[in-house]
A = this chain, B = another copy of it.
Amino acid sequence: MRISELSAESGVAIPTIKYYLREGLLHQGEQTAATRAEYDDSHLRRLRLIRALLEVGRLPVASIKKVIAAVEDEDLPIHEMLGIAHYALGPAVEPEPGEDWRLARAEVDRLLDGLGWDVSAHAPTRDELAQTLLKMRQLGMAVDLAPYVEAARTLVAEVEMDTVPFHGPRDAAVEALVLGTVLYGRALDVLRRMAQESESARRLA
């Protein structure tokens, strides 16, 4: 298809498509004449992925470039490719100096060991959870992650990972992971607050 059809089909404006081509986010089409190129389904899939990373993942263009580079590096195993997108979605957490941080981080490592979860030793989610635990302790909260571990495990193992097309095109797998992680995460958060309101009404009625 020509660029005008790619635009119509994807809903992405032609100047935006040209910008993605210049930035290397979208691969070039097949040049069929000096001023004409042919695009195909792989371009449509890539545009969907860019939109997911930009609008739903809220990633800056520099991070999107890294994710796209991982998608295009066919030597990179799918699990690692997904990891690069996944890690980019979380907030950047800086480890804090001091013993309290060290203890919280060690607690996270012990938790994951105990669960037998296969999470990289360098996963930024470890620091992210350590920061949350540390804050809970500083504020004097009782900390019991067990019900949350169980909720996350059940959702992910029994539902979420079934929606990622691991064996199709690489773009589509990353897109599904990003959309599912962010949008179902948002849905879960708001459903939790709705359930709180309802349970509060029930108990205080």
Binding site for B on A (CB under 8 A): 48, 51-52, 56, 77-79, 82-83, 86, 89-90, 112, 117-120, 123, 125, 128-129, 132-133, 135-136, 139, 141-142, 144-145, 147-149, 151-161, 163-164, 166, 177, 179-181, 183-205
Cross-chain contact B196 with A86 (CB below 8 angstroms): yes
CB closest chain-B residue, reference A148: B188
A177 touches B196 (CB 8 A): yes
Q: DSSP class of A's interface residues: helix, strand, loop or mixed?
A: helix
What CA separation (Å) do A204 and B170 show in the bound complex? 14
Give Cα A151 to B155, complex, Å: 8
Given the interface pairs A151-B188, A185-B189, the reply to whether A161 lies near B123 with Cβ below 8 Å is no
Sort A-B residue pairs by CB-CB distance and give the 7 closest, nearest first.
Answer: A156-B195, A118-B201, A117-B198, A152-B191, A79-B204, A152-B192, A118-B198
CB contact under 8 A between A197 and B125, given known A132-B190, A183-B132, A192-B156: yes
Given contacts A159-B147, A183-B141, contact A119 B204 (CB under 8 A): no
By beta carbon, the residue of chain B nearest A192 is B152
Q: Are B90 and A202 in contact (CB under 8 A)?
A: no
CA distance A149 to B79 in the complex (A): 29
Q: Are A193 and B132 in contact (CB under 8 A)?
A: no
B155 touches A56 (CB 8 A): no
Indicate if the CB atoms of B119 and A198 lie closer than 8 Å: yes
